[in-house]
C-alpha cells in the first residue's frame, strides 16, 4: 500500500480525551455567569464549534442572548484553570513515523488556539502546524479548517484526495469529506457504523491501531 501524501488530525477525541477539560470550564463559567448548574453535555454536539455549544447551554435556561458572554468566559476559564487533557494512544508513535517518512501533518480543530497551545506544550507533542478556531471564518462542519491546513502544508487541491483526515466526530468527518479528503474514523465518540455512514473510509479505535495499520 502506498502511504497517503499527508495526514491531518482533529484534536479532541483523536489526539486527546479532553472532555473533562472542556466540561469543567463550561461548568465553572456557567456557574459564574448565571449562578446555576449547567446541563449535561449532549453527545450530538461533539466536535461542534464552541459558540454553538455555548448557545445550547444558554438556551436550556432561556438565556440565548448571553451566548457570547458564556463563550468568552468559558475560554478564560479553560486557560486560567487549565486542566491537562489525557493523551490517547499512538500519538508519539505516529508523529515519529510521519517525521521519519517526511510526510506532512498537522492539526485542525474547533478548539481555541490557546487550549491547543497549552495542551501541546504540557503533553510534549510534536505538532508544529496547528490550526484552531480563530483561524477560520467558518468552523467545522464547513471544510475551511482542513482546506486551510492542507494549504499551509503546501498541498494543492488536486492532492487533497490523497490526504487522510483523522476524525472522531460526525461534524469533523463531514468537514473532511466536503474538503475532498479521505476521512478516517476514530471510534472514541461514535461507532464504526455511524462514522462510515457520514463518509469514513476506514475506522480504528485509536491512532495507535491506525499507526499499526500503516507500518504494515
- Tell me, yes or no, whether 211 and 193 share the same domain: yes
Q: What predicted TM-score, i.e. pTM, was given to this entire model?
A: 0.92
Specify the residue for cell string 495507535. Answer: 208
| The three three-digit cell numbers of residue 34, written as one number | 448565571
Exposed, middle or buried, 40 (CB in 10 Å: 0-12/13-18/19+)?
exposed
pLDDT value of position 178: 98
Specify the number of domains making up the chain: 2
Assess if residue 54 is contained within a domain.
yes
- Tell me, yes or no, whether 63 and 117 share the same domain: no
Contact 63, 146 (CB under 8 A): no
Domain at 210, CATH number: 3.40.50.1000
- Tell me, yes or no, whether 57 and 140 share the same domain: no
pLDDT value of position 41: 95
> pLDDT for 14-64, tens place per residue?
999 999 999 999 999 999 999 999 999 998 999 899 999 999 999 999 999
Specify the residue for cell string 474514523. Answer: 185
pLDDT value of position 43: 87
Segments forming the whole domain that contains residue 24: 19-80
- Tell me, yes or no, whether 148 and 60 share the same domain: no
Amino acid at each position: 500500500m502506498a502511504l497517503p501524501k499527508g495526514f491531518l488530525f482533529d484534536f479532541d477525541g483523536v489526539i486527546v480525551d479532553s472532555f473533562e477539560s472542556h466540561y469543567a470550564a463550561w461548568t465553572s463559567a456557567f456557574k459564574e455567569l448565571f449562578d446555576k448548574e449547567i446541563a449535561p453535555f449532549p453527545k450530538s454536539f461533539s466536535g461542534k464549534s464552541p459558540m454553538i455549544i455555548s448557545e445550547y447551554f444558554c438556551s436550556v435556561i432561556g438565556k440565548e442572548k448571553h451566548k457570547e458572554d458564556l463563550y468568552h468566559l468559558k475560554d478564560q476559564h479553560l486557560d486560567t484553570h487549565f486542566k491537562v487533557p489525557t493523551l490517547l494512544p499512538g500519538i508519539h508513535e505516529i508523529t515519529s513515523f510521519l517525521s521519519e517518512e517526511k510526510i506532512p501533518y498537522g492539526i485542525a480543530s474547533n478548539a481555541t488556539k490557546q487550549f491547543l497551545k497549552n495542551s501541546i506544550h504540557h503533553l510534549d507533542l510534536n505538532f508544529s502546524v496547528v490550526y484552531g478556531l480563530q483561524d477560520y471564518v467558518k468552523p467545522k462542519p464547513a471544510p475551511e479548517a482542513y482546506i486551510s491546513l492542507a494549504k499551509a502544508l503546501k498541498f494543492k487541491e488536486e492532492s487533497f484526495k490523497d490526504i487522510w483526515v483523522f476524525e472522531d466526530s460526525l461534524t469533523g468527518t463531514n468537514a473532511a469529506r466536503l474538503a475532498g479528503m479521505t476521512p478516517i474514523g476514530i471510534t472514541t465518540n461514535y461507532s464504526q457504523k455511524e462514522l462510515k455512514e457520514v463518509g469514513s473510509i476506514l475506522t480504528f479505535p485509536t491512532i495507535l491501531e491506525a499507526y499499526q495499520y500503516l507500518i504494515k
